[in-house]
Structure 1
Amino acid sequence: MAGESVTSIGVPLSDGLSQVNSWLTDNSDILLQYGVNIIAAILILFFGNILVKVVAGSISKVLHRKEMDPAVVEFIHGLVRYLLFVIVLIAALGRIGVQTASVVAVIGAAGLAVGLALQGSLSNFAAGILIVAFRPFKSGDYVEVAGVAGSVESIQIFQTVLKTPDNKMVVVPNSAIIGGAITNYSRHATRRIDLVIGVSYSADLQKTKQILRETVERDERVLKDPDITIGVHALADSSVNFVVRPWVKTADYWAVYFDLLMNIKEALDANDIEIPFPQMSVHLNKAD
């Protein structure tokens, strides 16, 4: 009719609005139910996430009170939080009508596919569990793993974080740690310092040995037990090499190491005992 609005597909606008209104009226109960379910699912996700944080945080606090290693506590905290969030997500999907059994099956199938695609990540996860279980090192230990040396800051689900002596952060995959040698310099309370001191072949060896012992024993940080080991180690090309092996507390290792090198050099110089070093002799012939 003239003057009546028409939609782009040739249907009068009033008829279209009437059909929409009729559909909304006929399906109001279903829409209301779906709206309630969606809102409920959103609330489950919101409050469930808060609950997950509270539960994971409470577990972390309990483990801290039991004086468990902070790196292990962080690992368990992350693992619990991820697992609980998956449960909350499944509950939210179930609220909007998704069959949870189907979700679990889909997650299992997807997990298998993702597992095949991410074998490296799964191996890192399994290696992280082994590190936590067998504890070859703990937070704060100075270790050498996968060719990297540093202090352990945290053991995470897929990697371990180290801090190097020059304050760099190094992230090492857990599988690389388990798959190689682990050197823990902090595990024992004491360590042995190994020094090699070369002196001239013309030096009095007995006097040199006595000077080395007296110099080492003057340092109060050197332990009395085990005893210091000093002896001729090798008759090298240009020097007689002594080994000097005192024991110290692990925390004093580097400080004593540096001080002993300086003190030994000064003591040998004071007693006119030469420390050989590479030299080159140049002979000049005057031509007629």
Structure 2
Amino acid sequence: MTERVEDASSPAGDAPLLEVTGLAAGYGGIEVLHGVDLAVRAATATTLIGSNGAGKTTLLKTMVGLVRPSRGRVRLRGEDITDWSVQRRTRAGLVLVPEGRRVFAALSVHENLLLGAYGRRRSAVAASADEVYGRFPRLAERRRQPAGTLSGGEQQMLAIGRALMAAPTVMLLDEPSLGLAPKAVAEVTGILTALAGAGTTLVLVEQNASVAFRVASAGYLLDRGRISLAGEVARLRADPQVRAAYLGLGTAERR
């Protein structure tokens, strides 16, 4: 894909909440990301789309500290956090909802939520749990039920709820619609749209561009470890290659 990076940074005068600059990272000496620049403004939803193997998950893992970059910087609220541990980043509010949900199957719904609030004050934990149960009534109904007995959509709700228990400044979500039935995808999309509408800052990795574009207002296209297109979602949606490769639309079709 021809590189056509434009509008990749925040608008003038609006400093990004989360920013990566010149980020390179990989595994076992093989570089997966090649100088990625990305900026996320507060109280917005930003999507990162791309094919399998483009480096989307590696980028999220590098932002939260699970992968160390070979070069480049990660900043949160303008502070360089590149050398911070995963735990310190989490305490600062950078929280990952991993691909595949990763709930603890043998633990109850409530116990899974409490794990998300590790290290927070007990009074804050109780208030956050009440808020999560208010947002997800089905989790409240199943609070004593083992997480492994929930449906895929309910487990995704639990994974999002667990992240909310950490009082995130930025929530990073890795393929939240992956493997879900269409009805569950619609429910999860509605949940993320509501979170974004309420001012939660989201970074959403999705192969399902239709889902991503319903939630996010801005986005990036990652192609073989490099950002090849960036801007408002309307711009990405109108791009011929995005339409053909990620939306299944011909260039002459219009939504």
Quickly name the TM-score band, shorter chain normalised: under 0.3
Q: Highest Rg: 1 or 2?
A: 1
Q: Using CA pairs below 8 Å that are at least 6 residues apart, which structure has the higher relative contact order?
A: 2
Identify, as 1 or 2, the structure richer in strand.
2
Identify, as 1 or 2, the structure richer in helix.
1
- Using the size of structure 1 for normalisation, the TM-score is 0.21
